[in-house]
Amino acid sequence: MDVRKRVEKNVVTEYVASDGTVFGNEYYCKKHELELAQTDARDAVEKMPHFEVRPPLDDIDMDYTCYKVKDKNELENIKLAHFEADCTANDFEVSDYPAYVIAEYNDEGYGSIWSFDEIVSAARNWISSMYSRMQEAESELQH
């Protein structure tokens, strides 16, 4: 009888997240890291100067928060905290810091970011349009 010894190597790939959590799958590791980043972003955003706003005739399914953003990093934290990766709000940029922005978002992670100037301009245009339409309606009623 021959007795042989055989050494086998079993290579196992592990994915280690930044917090030390180990995964056997790259997808779940990346998903976990995104969740960690979102939690960090939400914590950072909560510490930023902000207040909740309710525009007139607003969409009741949306939340609106006004933030004073001092730099690009803070803007990126707002995007990460409130919006899914495929949301167009992620395309929003600020040309001059510090700036006030209003984040409009829902529970599913979709919505928009507006500069304060855009909100003021849209409100003025809406008021002007409403005033013109009321004048037209009044004029039609008098004839």
CA 51 centroid distance within chain: 16
What ranges do the domains of the chain cover? 11-47, 49-142
- Claim: this prediction has a pTM higher than 0.85: no
pLDDT of residue 94: 93
Alpha helices by DSSP H, listed for the chain, are: 26-47, 72-82, 116-142
pLDDT of residue 62: 86
Instruction: Render pLDDT for 74-132 as a digit per residue (tens, 0 to 9).
Output: 999 999 999 999 999 999 999 899 999 999 999 999 999 999 888 888 888 888 998 89
For 80, the 3-state DSSP assignment is helix
**Cross-sheet strand order for the sheet of 50-52:** 50-52, 63-69, 99-105, 111-115
90: nearest Cα among 100, 76, 102, 104: 76
In the chain, count of helices (H) and strands (E)?
A: 3, 6
105: nearest Cα among 40, 41, 47, 29: 41
Task: Give the CA-trace dihedral at 66, 71, 73, 79, to 10 degrees.
Answer: 30
